[in-house]
Amino acid sequence: MAIWQHKVSCCLLILCFTNVFSSRIRPYTPPSVTRLTDSFPQVSIDRAFSKGFGASNVQFLSNGSMATLALDKISGSGLVSQSRYSYGFFSAAIKLPAGLSSGVVVAFYLSNADKFPHHHDEIDIELLGHDKRNDWVIQTNIYANGSVGTGREEKFYPWFDPTQQHHYYSILWNSYHTVFLVDNIPVREFIHSSTYPSIYPSKPMSVYATIWDASEWATKGGKYPVNYKNAPFVVSFAEMEQSGCISDPAASVSLCSKANPSGLDPNGAEFTKLSQQQIAAMDWARRKLMFYSYCNDKPRFKVLPPECH
């Protein structure tokens, strides 16, 4: 009887632990919001992007409407957009690799580091394989006119399992603000302020989609490196969108495309600020899911960045 009770107690403890573990990933039902991903057209990935690196690990599928990128012992892989943009709405439906993922980073981001290596701009959504558990972390980051040391990171747990199906990860970047969205829920807004204009990304950027080994950076100095026994790690990209102002270095002015079926311009009046519905949804995401913000990292910043005040 005592042995049976001990087994029951152990089972209950395991069940309780499993519930705690699962609750961190998907315990919540997100609020309803306007779906910005329905407002802009999808692009053909094989036409809108080039293979940036690890070409043999890049596959275009479904007539170019989908792409898979792989990380193995030899190389990661990545795509880079054919065009540079001065502003726009950029989105991808991403399904992350299943299984143990420590040290693996999947990124969907804007950057001009290739053109401005010492004072580049960058707007990142980085999906980090967790260092101890088999869940992922959503990290957002912004650089402006600087190096990686000037980054402004915020981290969130997803409210879903990102390996089971595709989920939307989106960036709205215009003259007024930069908004990071997950499944159309705004999780972060970075406002363009005249008080500190130099910290806002302003130079034309390309769009990137990558998977790579970030063991030294993303796992506490290499404490939990990528385990290549689980390779290849394959990420799927679909329903990619990029609408905005195309920067043509050969032209005297930027070629701002407004030929969306909806007629929406990502720098237009509709996108100067968040709606009340979006503000409420962002408040929900930040209260429930954000676990790190650079504005709360006093050991890192002796003087907090000006926008934190």
Q: Concatenated DSSP letters for 137-168?
A: EEEEEEEEEE-GGG---EEE--SS-TTTS-EE
Count of domains forming the chain: 1
Q: Is residue 20 part of a domain?
A: no
Q: Is residue 122 part of a domain?
A: yes
Q: Is residue 207 part of a domain?
A: yes
> Strands (DSSP E) along 96-119, which ranges?
104-111
Q: Is residue 255 part of a domain?
A: yes
pLDDT digits (tens, 9 = 90+) for 125-169: 999 997 666 679 999 999 998 866 678 999 999 999 999 999 999
Percent of the chain with pLDDT strictly greater than 70:
83
Closest CA to 73 of 235, 237, 230: 230
**pLDDT above 50 for 12:** no
Return the pLDDT at 221: 64
Q: Which domain holds residue 64?
A: 27-308
More confident residue, 1 or 286: 286
Active site residue 122: yes
Active site residue 216: no
Q: Is residue 9 part of a domain?
A: no
More confident residue, 191 or 251: 191
Write down the catalytic residue from 126, 154, 189, 241: 126
More confident residue, 15 or 44: 44
Residue pair 20/12 in contact by the 8 Å Cβ criterion: no
**pLDDT above 60 for 256:** yes
Return the pLDDT at 5: 41
Q: Is residue 283 part of a domain?
A: yes
**CB within 8 Å of 29: residues ≥ 6 apart:** none
Closest CA to 169 of 177, 158, 146: 158
Q: Is residue 95 part of a domain?
A: yes
Q: What is the mean pLDDT of residues 48-72?
A: 98
Report the mean per-residue pLDDT for the chain.
87
3-state secondary structure of 71: strand
Q: Is residue 50 part of a domain?
A: yes
Q: What is the mean pLDDT of residues 179-204?
A: 94
Q: Read off the CATH number of the domain in which 151 is found.
A: 2.60.120.200
